[in-house]
Structure 1
Amino acid sequence: MSAPSERTHVDRKAATAAYSALDVELSSKAHAERASGTHDEQHSAVGGRLKTIVFGGLDGILTCFAIVSSCAGSDMSPRVVLLLGACNILADALAMGVGEYLSTKSSDEFASYERTREDWEMRHNPEGEILEMVDIYVGRGMSREDATTVITTMAKYHDFFVNVMMVEELGLTVPEPEAHCDAMKDGFLMFLAFCVFGAFPLLGYALLPQFRPDAAPHELFLAACAVTGVTLFGLGAVKAKFVNGNPYKLGAETLALGALCASSAYSAGALLQQFLPS
Structure 2
Amino acid sequence: MHWFFKKTKSRVEIAREAFKKRDKKLHKLAHSEKYIKEEPHKIEQGKYIGPAVYGASDGIVTTFAVVAGVAGANLDPKIVLILGFANLFADGFSMAVGDYLSSKSEKDYINSERARELWEVEHFPDAERKEVEEIYKRKGVKGEKLKLLVDIITSDKELWVDTMMKEELNLLGDDEVSPIKSALVTFFSFVIAGFTPLIAYVFSNFVPFFQTYKFLAASIITGATLFTVGGLRQLITDVKWYIGGLEMLLVGGASASVAFLIGFILRTVFGIVI
Over 3 Å counting, the alpha-carbon distance change for 1:149 and 1:53 in structure 2 is same
Over 3 Å counting, the alpha-carbon distance change for 1:268 and 1:37 in structure 2 is farther
Aligned mates of 1:152, 1:46 — CA distance in 2 = 38
Task: Tell whether the 8 Å contact from 1:82 to 1:206 is kept in structure 2 after alignment.
Answer: yes
Map of 1:21 onto structure 2:
21
Over 3 Å counting, the alpha-carbon distance change for 1:161 and 1:86 in structure 2 is same
Aligned mates of 1:209, 1:143 — CA distance in 2 = 77
- Of 179, 186, 189, 2:182 maps to 186
Map of 2:35 onto structure 1:
34
Task: Tell whether the 8 Å contact from 1:115 to 1:174 is kept in structure 2 after alignment.
Answer: no
Q: Which runs of 5+ in 2 are unaligned?
A: 1-9
Q: Deviation at 1:209?
A: 3.1
Q: Residue type of the partner of 1:227?
A: I
Aligned mates of 1:206, 1:84 — CA distance in 2 = 13
- Of 260, 263, 266, 1:269 maps to 263
Structure 2 counterparts to residues 200-215 of structure 1, below 5 A: 200-212=196-208, 215=211
Partner of 1:76: helix, strand, or coil?
Answer: coil
Aligned mates of 2:53, 2:133 — CA distance in 1 = 41
Q: Residue type of the partner of 2:15?
A: A
TM-score between both structures, scaled by the size of structure 1: 0.87
Over 3 Å counting, the alpha-carbon distance change for 1:145 and 1:69 in structure 2 is farther
User: How many residues are treated as equivalent by the alignment?
Assistant: 262
Aligned mates of 1:81, 1:131 — CA distance in 2 = 64
Q: Residue type of the partner of 2:35?
A: R
Partner of 1:160: helix, strand, or coil?
Answer: helix
Q: Deviation at 1:175?
A: 4.3
Task: Tell whether the 8 Å contact from 1:209 to 1:215 is kept in structure 2 after alignment.
Answer: yes
Q: Which runs of 5+ in 1 are unaligned?
A: 1-9
Map of 1:236 onto structure 2:
230
Aligned mates of 1:37, 1:172 — CA distance in 2 = 26
Map of 1:5 onto structure 2:
none
Aligned mates of 2:210, 2:243 — CA distance in 1 = 38
Aligned mates of 2:158, 2:210 — CA distance in 1 = 69
Aligned mates of 2:54, 2:226 — CA distance in 1 = 11
Map of 2:67 onto structure 1:
68
Q: Residue type of the partner of 2:17?
A: A
Q: Identity of aligned pairs, percent?
A: 32
Map of 1:51 onto structure 2:
50
Partner of 1:208: helix, strand, or coil?
Answer: coil
Matched, 1:199 2:195: yes
Partner of 1:142: helix, strand, or coil?
Answer: coil
Map of 1:249 onto structure 2:
243
RMSD between aligned residues: 2.1
Partner of 1:215: helix, strand, or coil?
Answer: helix
